[in-house]
Structures are given as C-alpha cells and as structure tokens.
Amino acid sequence: MTSESAGASADRGGAGGAGHPGDQHTRRIGTVELAGDFTPVERELLAAQFGECRLELLARSQLEPRVALFRWTAVPSDLGRSGPSPLAAAPARATYVLHPPGLAAEPAGAERPARHIELLLTRVDNTRGLQARFPGHFPDVSIAPSWRQRLRRWWFRAIPALIVIGLALWLALALRNLG
C-alpha cells in the first residue's frame, strides 16, 4: 500500500457537510465521471488527479467525514487505436481512500492551518489492507477482488508450474527417443 500526495489543498471544514455515499448523483468533470456525493473540494481534486475514468464513492469514514473510500474504474479511451499498448495489463479497477495526512497518528499538539490541508490518496487492495491502514473507519466495508482479478492472479501463479510440467514432458520424450 502506498500513499501519494494528491497535490492539492482543501478546506478543512469543507467535507463536513457531505451527504451519504448512497446518494448516487453523477457528475462529469472533463473526462472524469464522479458517482456519489463527493464534496466540491474532492471533485476538483479527483478530476485533476485522474483522467478518462469513473470514480464511485463507496463509503465515508464513520470516524472522520473527510475520509472517503472510492473505486476507480478505467474508461477505454483508445478504442480503434492501433499499435502496441504498453499498459495493456494495467488494472481496470482499483480502490482508494482519500484522506488528510497523518490521519492515524497525528500528534496531539500539532496544529495545521485551518484553511488548507493537503489530501492524500492511498490505494487499498483488499479488506484486510483497508482495516490495517484505516482501523475503525470502514468497519462494514468489504473489498473483494472481481472474478477476473482472481482468475488473472491464479493464471500468473500457475504459469511457472505449467512451464515445469512442459519441460518435464519434453525431457521425458527426448530421453525416450534416445533410448
């Protein structure tokens, strides 16, 4: 799990009036489709960070309303484009948490300017990672990989075994033909 600076400032109190993630209004900013009740600051930040995708708000933290869990889904933009595609194996979906820095362990005496804070994006791959990084924030949320992700993971784990089996069969046939 990595955190990357989202590179924008946000109003500390701006996310407090956010609605429930179940409110599914959809907005489009440039090439980014935002589904759910993102705050204006979140919409601006996410539209600047992502392109040609759909972002769906999954949940808000039960401990801190400025913490949002969302799913990123790629939108194919190069249909009909010919030639090699170096990122053909890039994931089509990912889950992120948008949060203020130092959320888990901010010193009690540390004061941040009330007007601006930087927000961070942290990718989480599964429920265990989400609960470890953000304990208590999303107690009822489960992040399960899609069947395609599970199949792909199985396939890439099986490839070395298939290579060994193929080499063993080739060696057995080669030795049989020699004798």
Please check whether residues 117 and 30 belong to one and the same domain: yes
Any residues with CB less than 8 A from the CB of 123 and at least 6 apart, and which? 1, 2, 94, 95, 96
Containing domain of residue 17, as a range? Answer: 3-144
Please check whether residues 54 and 68 belong to one and the same domain: yes
Please check whether residues 111 and 130 belong to one and the same domain: yes
Residue 155 CA to residue 173 CA, distance in Å, equals 26
Please check whether residues 169 and 81 belong to one and the same domain: no
Q: What is the mean pLDDT of residues 136-163?
A: 84
The token pair at 4 is: 């990357």
pLDDT recorded at residue 103: 67
The helix/strand/coil state of 34 is strand
The model scores a pTM over 0.85: no
Please check whether residues 84 and 149 belong to one and the same domain: no
pLDDT recorded at residue 90: 64
pLDDT recorded at residue 154: 85
pLDDT recorded at residue 88: 54
If one counts the domains in the chain, the total is 2
